[in-house]
Amino acid sequence: MRRSFTLFSIVVHAIVITAALIAQVLAVGTLPTPHQPVLYEAASVVPIDVQLPKPRIGPTAPQTTSYSTAPTEAPDGVNAETEREHERGVSAPGLIPGVESGPPSNIEGVGMVSILPSPPPEPAGPIRLHSGMKAPVKTTDVAPVYPIIAKNAHVKGVVILEAVLNAQGGVESVRVLRSVPLLDQAAVDAVQQWRFTPALLNGQPVPVVMTVTVNFTLQ
């Protein structure tokens, strides 16, 4: 019974679908009007007159005549000398207003301007002694006093000091760079009494920083 019902349902559905297809094929009527295609129309360019703003006119700069340029027009005649061409503020060919002319040169109408070289800047403080300077020379030598305690202990060696000399060649300060504990103070006391010729930089005396050594040896 169920199988017969299934076959009957299939047959009915087939008949309905077939009838629908046949009805669409045999249908008679007016066809729908197709839509009008969209076409691109070129845009036309319409000229528009745009008035630009007028340029702003500022104050007119005074025209100056340069006597160093060649004239573009022939002169009408020769101007008479006023005998005031040498005074300041009187313009004459070959002279610049407001500028004093120097001593005459080989070029007509052009004055020579002498420019003095600026002096070298003075150093702000002591500078370290280098090869571009004239080194100071010791003029007063004071031998160090060998401390008794160092002599009894047979202590010897080289004390290296840094001395600051003023522009006159005197020793202003002394600092120990390489120490021998029992000999440092004796070396400092001796170096502070030394005197030197001034160190020269560009011919001028300057304060310098230099390194000195004091050698302690036992006889």
pLDDT in tens, 126-172: 899 888 899 999 999 999 999 999 999 999 999 999 999 999 999 99
202 found inside a domain: yes
Residue 26 within a domain? no
Confidence (pLDDT) at 88: 52
Domain assignment of residue 140, yes or no: yes
Query: Which of 206, 128, 130, 127 minimizes the C-alpha distance to 166?
Result: 206
Between residues 185 and 100, which one has the greater pLDDT? Answer: 185
pLDDT of residue 8: 80
Compute the average pLDDT of residues 205-209: 95
Assess if residue 161 is contained within a domain: yes
Highest mean pLDDT out of 45-49, 55-59, 60-64:
55-59
pLDDT value at 41 more than 60 = no
Residue 210: which domain range?
128-216
> Is residue 150 included in any domain, yes or no?
yes
98 close to 89: Cβ distance less than 8 angstroms = yes
Domain count, the chain: 1
**What pLDDT is recorded for position 3?**
72
Decide which of 143 and 39 is more confident.
Answer: 143
Residue 117 lies in a domain: no
Q: How far, in Å, CA of 184 to CA of 213, rounded?
A: 11
Q: Output the domain CATH number for residue 183.
A: 3.30.2420.10
Question: Is 195 a domain residue?
Answer: yes
For the cut 80, the answer to whether the pLDDT of residue 182 exceeds it is yes
Whether 88 is covered by a domain: the verdict is: no
| pTM (predicted TM-score) | 0.45
Rounded distance, CA 175 to CA 211, Å? Answer: 10
Between residues 65 and 199, the one the model is more confident about? 199
pLDDT higher at 15 or 49? 15
Under 8 Å CB-to-CB from 194, ≥6 apart: which residues?
Answer: 138, 140, 141, 142, 163, 171, 212
Map the chain to HEC letters: CHHHHHHHHHHHHHHHHHHHHHHHHCCCCCCCCCCCCCCCCCCCCCCCCCCCCCCCCCCCCCCCCCCCCCCCCCCCCCCCCCCCCCCCCCCCCCCCCCCCCCCECCCCCCECCCCCCCCCCCCCCCEECCCCCECCCEEECCCCCCCHHHHHCCCCEEEEEEEEECCCCEEEEEEEEECCCCCHHHHHHHHCCCEECCEEECCEEECEEEEEEEEECCC
- What CA dihedral angle connects 175, 178, 181 and 185, to 10 degrees? -30
Q: Which two tokens stand for residue 158?
A: 């080289």
Q: Is the pLDDT of residue 210 over 70?
A: yes
pLDDT in tens, 82-134: 666 555 544 445 445 555 555 554 545 445 555 667 666 655 678 998 888 99
- 216 pLDDT exceeds 80? yes
